[in-house]
Amino acid sequence: MTNKKIIQSFFENVRSGQNVNSAPQYMHNIVHAHQVLAESHTDEVIERSPEDYANHVQEMKAMYGDFSLAIEEILSDGDKVYVRWRQVGTVDKKDVTEIGSAVYLLKDGKIAEYWIQLDRKGIEEQMNN
């Protein structure tokens, strides 16, 4: 399976919340997650295990309900795959759209590291209106 197909499958199964328990199939035991925080001009690196990531997706489902998730663009170059997505969920009876992007680094067919950026300000404004 190509790196692009691995990430597409990861989104369809894990990131979508449809099959979070399959996270170990797509992720190394420890993944370095670089979170680009444009609003504070910083980057934050956290370590995530497949179990941590599955719990993170479950938290999103608790917050947004059964959200929809669509890949809007996906590009692959060697061991890196870029994805831009749109996620729509519901908070307090309001539709909330998250637009995000990430670059995933794959080693031996699994995610080893990723760099993610979300439109946090856009989410905040939607929730406050």
CATH code where residue 14 lies:
3.10.450.50
CB 48 within 8 A of CB 31: yes
Instruction: Return the amino acid letter for 110.
Output: K
Write down the pTM of the prediction. Answer: 0.91
What are 51's two structure tokens? 């179990």
Give 17's DSSP letter. S
> Average pLDDT in the 96-123 region?
91
Distance CA 38, CA 87 (A): 20
Per residue, the 3-state secondary structure of 23-88, as one string, reads HHHHEEEEEEEEEEEHHHCEEEEEEECHHHHHHHHHHHHHHHCCCEEEEEEEEEECCEEEEEEEEE
- Which residue is associated with the tokens 């917050």? 63
- Domain tally, the chain: 1
| Cα distances (angstroms) measured from residue 2 to each of 8, 62, 108, 129 | 10, 32, 11, 42
Distance CA 79, CA 92 (A): 40
Helix, strand, or coil here: 125? helix
Rg (CA), the chain: 14
> Average pLDDT in the 22-32 region?
98
> What is the rounded average pLDDT for all residues in the chain?
92
Higher pLDDT, 81 or 119: 81
Domain that residue 116 falls in: 3-128
pLDDT, residue 10, reads 98
